[in-house]
Structure 1
Amino acid sequence: MKRLSKAAFSQNSLTAPIVSTIVYLISVMRVILHGNWPVTSPDTAMFQHIGWLVFSGKRYYIDAWDPKPPLTLELATIIAYISNGDPHFQHTLSVMSTIVAGILLTYLISHITSEITGNQFAGLLSGIVFITFPVIHYSPVFGYEPKYFVFLFGLGSIYLSKKSRPILSGATAAASAGMWQFAIIFPIISFGIIIRQKSEDLILKYVFGATIITFFVLLPIYLQGGIVAMTVEVIIAPLYAGETQSFLYRLVKGVIHLKLMIPIALLGIGGILLGFLDDIRERWWIVGLLLWFCIQIFILDYDGADDLFLGIILVAMGIGFAFDKLSTKYNSEKINSIVTAVVVCMLIWQVVTLGGVGVITNPYSYSGDNPNQAILESGVQQFAHLSGYTEYTIGGSPPDEQYNVKSKYGPDKIEELFFTSTIPSTCHYRLSGMELEWMNLTEQSFSEEKCGKWRIP
């Protein structure tokens, strides 16, 4: 038994990704066994539908309004091409690819923590704590979720910078930012690590890697004539029509999402600060990510539980740092046993109850109907609640036009559009909160066939 334990926690241990694989499969099987496969959320269905639209000859940002950067949509399109436009096969591939990204991310978190602390068990602990958060192991069930790729590329860029692999670091940093606007922190940090190595050759190689990826990401958009549309929807619209919730509103939302995982989160944050004080010169980037996460959540972007992703990664690493600190101060074997028991119990409880004490409580109905409001409000409902707009004020559109569009489209209709391979008659069919607010500010019609015209409110 001791030999088995040593093997599990050895230098090249794959224990964390193996555990994460099992947990992901359990989550998927629970949905399948309830007889309602496939099931999606409005966001995942929208990404997959845009991928299918482009496969069918439509254009990014012009034929479908969306504020996500291009690589998010391009990866969805690649999956659509691999599946030859079959939505059910595309959805299955989307689930599989997201799970693979999640497994690789778990390994990366575990490996980075192990290297920083020099403690293999601390790394294993970080990987397993990451997967215990239900929003992490349950979200891939619903299809293509870009944030797994965002943070896989983002953390990968930092790791590669520290290993003096500038071309790959620049490429992965650009890929991360090319999928989510707020991942811009990863190019900043990874480039900062390269600069600190004081080598002009490394800097030039980093810029080269980032430039190559940026070129190939923007090329399809340019060829489709969508650069202006992309600029309007990805950059300008979020600036003018972004979230306006108060600090207190966001704080309460965080408490509701985390529930009894709050002590784990606080312990993880404490571990980050302890680890930072141990080696400020080498661990500055971790605190940099933590500060950026606070800015993102409390000021910039906090729609749902999946926006806690970066914070969960940092908490997982912080737990590893805290364990390393404790194990060096007290009896290591005793600490190992106690922590192992706690983590195993927490993991089993979170998986069996589907997050009964975590981020999600009974998150989605297995019928594929509207998602539970605790994790993802309807964009239209959220917009109406926060902004006070009535049904007849959006963009100055007449009531009958709005009724016709809303009766066919919106967050609760995206899944049907995707699985029935339907091409909408308007580019405004997601009708998210940001989209509705942007339409109102720029007086756009619900029935517009083409989006992305240059408009400033």
Structure 2
Amino acid sequence: MPGFDDWAPESHATLQRRIADDWRRLLVAGAAGLVVAATAIKFASEPFHVNRDSALFQHAGWYILEGATLYVDIWDLKPPLVYAVTTLLAFLTGGNMALLHVVSVAVAVAAVTGGVVLTGFTVHSLTDDGFAAVTAGFSMFVLTSVYAFPYAGIRPKYFAFLCAAAALSLAVEDRPLAAGTAAALGAGFWQLGGGVAALVVAMALQRGGVTAAVRTVTGGLAVAALTVLPFVLTGTAIPLFVEVVLAPVYGVERYTVPGRALAFVAELGPGVFLVPVAAYGWWRGVRAEWRTYWWVAAGGLSYLFQIFLEFQGAIELILLFLFLALGVGVLAARARTPSGRSLVAAAVVVLVVTSLYWNASPVTPVRDEVEEARDQFGVSAYEDLPADPPGSPSMREIYWNKLQPENCHYRLGDKQKYFETATGGSIEKERCGQWPFDEPPRSWLVDAVVP
């Protein structure tokens, strides 16, 4: 009778072969099932709860159909593509805000699920390993917000994740024009998607030479032109530039390195251990075949520094987790034994479960201590922010009552308050998007680019 040591490796190998043989169905069904189930549970516990940011995006879609002008009647620092989506959804739902919210939730679920699935497909294209593809896809769920947040409405980061995963998958499949298009779409939803856009150009140059790189850039430029053209034609290019380019630069929060590091731990909890696991995968891949895997490590290291640029919550890390998931997949594929591959998958399962407990448990003494230390070492994000105008309605009130605010600053976020304060503006003006400097835009841009 064989002992455990004889039986275990064969058992691991058998299970892994079964998963590898049916990896597409397991990945798609598993990802969709988890995101849909989590969304249904959360929606049932908090019916029609809408996140403050989601309320802005969804309300703005309806408001634009009523004649409002984006970046003039509606101040926001997000690129315009999310508003293209919500305007279409508002049109399709006929101005019914409850139906608009339900459809927005469904679209958010589809975007997140698609991003997870494409993450797995990218790993399979890299490694030809179905087990590693499933492991990579499910490692995205260590970031609890991926499946626990869509119930509260639409967010541009979901689309940026979907487009970034699609861009990387297309780049690995040597489809540079489509990869550049997808990457530019991601940047059109969230500025930080620009990092993936730059990366796919470099991948195309390395994999296909100058011709492939030019095709990648062409796809990106086509998307950029089609995105900006409506604003040029309607005379609102300056408001677009002021709010989408200038405001995020001004709005970088103050922080201390210990405070930001502790905030990272407070948000992720046990999920922080996915970073060294993935980093080991990056290293294993680069060491074995650097021409194949360099971009995985480069993207991951680049987005690790994001926490010092923009970090207001765990969902801000979704592009970092894309590269962490790829690293986990590479590690699973390159493990020397079936037991080693199972160990990587088991680590992912443990981190998914413990991260959920960290974020959902009503009693979290360790998290409380970490948050206390974060507050002790941290600093306030901004100084001297103006108070909200008296009687300002909440974003949820604006959304559900279909209000058309008198002021363009009705989201009243800290970044827009700080931007107006820093540039001598006001949060109580009716129209936004004015050029904030005495020097004309063209001269200012020339001086900014040429020292």
Classify the TM-score, shorter chain: 0.7 to 0.9
Aligned to 2:325: 316
Aligned to 1:356: 357
Q: 1:110 aligns with which of 117, 120, 135?
A: 120
In 1: Cα distance, 2:431 partner to 2:404 partner = 13
Identify if the C-alpha distance between structure 1 residues 200 and 277 changes in structure 2 by more than 3 Å, giving closer, same or farther. closer
Residue identity opposite 2:25 in structure 1: L
Measured in 2, the distance between the counterparts of 1:69 and 1:406 equals 29
Is the contact between residue 8 and residue 14 of structure 1 (CA under 8 Å) also seen in structure 2? no
Q: Distance in 1 between matches of 2:206 and 2:351?
A: 40
Q: Deviations over 1:137-191 (max 9, x none)?
A: 1111111021121122123223222323222122112111111112111221111
- Aligned to 1:9, the other structure's residue is in SS state helix
Seen in structure 2, the aligned counterparts of structure 1 residues 177 and 343 have a Cα distance that, compared at 3 Å, is closer
Partners of 2:300 and 2:344 in 1: how far apart?
24
1:281 matched to which residue of 2? 291
Return the offset for 1:59.
0.7
Alignment of 1:104-143 (within 5 A): 104-143=114-153
Offset of 1:342 from its aligned partner? 5.4
Counterpart Cα distance in 2 of 1:342 and 1:193? 30
User: Given that residues 270 and 354 in structure 2 are in contact (C-alpha distance below 8 angstroms), is that contact kept between their aligned partners in structure 1?
Assistant: no
- Which residue, out of 303, 306, 312, partners 2:315? 306
Q: For 1:18-38, what per-residue CA distance to the aligned partner results, in whole angstroms no more than 9, with x for missing partners?
A: 11211112222223332x311
Q: Secondary structure at the match of 2:263?
A: helix
- Supply the distance in 2 between the matched residues of 1:362 and 1:421 (Cα, whole angstroms): 35
Deviation at 1:6, TM superposition (A): 4.5
* Residue from 5, 12, 19 that aligns with 2:30: 19
Structure 1 residue 49 corresponds to structure 2 residue 59: yes
Question: Which deviations, in whole Å up to 9, do the C-alpha atoms of 1:258-300 show, x marking residues without a partner?
Answer: 11222233212222222222211121111221222123212x1
User: Does structure 2 conserve the Cα–Cα contact (< 8 Å) formed by 1:261 and 1:357?
Assistant: no
> 2 CA distance for matches of 1:233 and 1:46?
15
In the alignment, what sits opposite 1:455?
Answer: 436
Contact map agreement 1:157 1:168 (CA 8 A) in 2: yes
Percent sequence identity over matched residues?
A: 24
Asked if structure 2 preserves the Cα contact closer than 8 Å seen for 1:130 and 1:313, the reply is yes
AA of the residue aligned to 2:218: F
Q: Who is 2:400 aligned against?
A: 419
CA deviations on 1:406-425 (whole Å, 9 max, x unpaired) are 4324xxx1122112111111
TM-score in terms of structure 1 length: 0.83
Q: Which moved more, 1:160-169 or 1:65-74?
A: 160-169
Aligned residue type for 1:98: A
Which residue pairs with 1:397 in the alignment? none
RMSD: 2.8
Instruction: Name the CA distance, whole Å, in 2 between partners of 1:206 and 1:233.
Output: 27
| 2:110 paired residue among 100, 112, 115 | 100
Change (3 A) 1:49 1:406: farther
1:224 has 2:208 as partner? no
Secondary structure at 1:387 match in 2: coil
One-letter code aligned to 1:80: A
Q: What amino acid is the match of 2:417?
A: L
Check 1:344–1:252 CA distance in 2 against 1; reply closer, same or farther (3 A cut): closer
Give, in whole Å, the separation in 2 of the partners of 1:235 and 1:178.
12
Change (3 A) 1:46 1:406: farther
Structure-2 separation of matches of 1:195 and 1:317: 21
Q: Structure 2: 5+ residue runs without aligned partners?
A: 1-10, 372-378, 439-451
Letter in 1 for 2:415: M
Q: 1:272 aligns with which of 282, 302, 307?
A: 282
3-state secondary structure, aligned to 2:358: coil
3-state secondary structure, aligned to 1:428: coil
Answer yes or no: is the 8 Å Cα contact 1:114–1:122 preserved in 2. yes
Alpha carbons of 1:166 and 1:142: their partners in 2 closer, same or farther (altered >3 Å)? Answer: same
- Structure 1 residues not aligned, in runs of 5+: 364-371, 376-383, 395-401
Is residue 10 of structure 2 the alignment partner of residue 9 of structure 1? no
Deviation at 1:133, TM superposition (A): 2.6
- Which amino acid is 2:38 matched to? S
What letter is aligned with 1:138? Answer: A
Q: Is the 8 A contact 1:71 1:217 kept in 2?
A: yes
Q: 1:408 aligns with which of 353, 372, 392?
A: 392
Residues in 1 aligned to 2:223 and 2:44: alpha-carbon distance in whole angstroms: 41
**Shift in alpha-carbon separation, 1:314–1:210, aligned structure 2, 3 A:** closer
d(CA) in 2 for partners of 1:283 and 1:117? 10
Structure 1 Cα separation of the partners of residues 154 and 390 of structure 2: 25
Q: Hey, what does 1:380 align to over in structure 2?
A: none
CA positional deviation for 1:430: 1.0
Mapped partners of 2:243, 2:344: distance in 1:
47
Aligned residues: 416
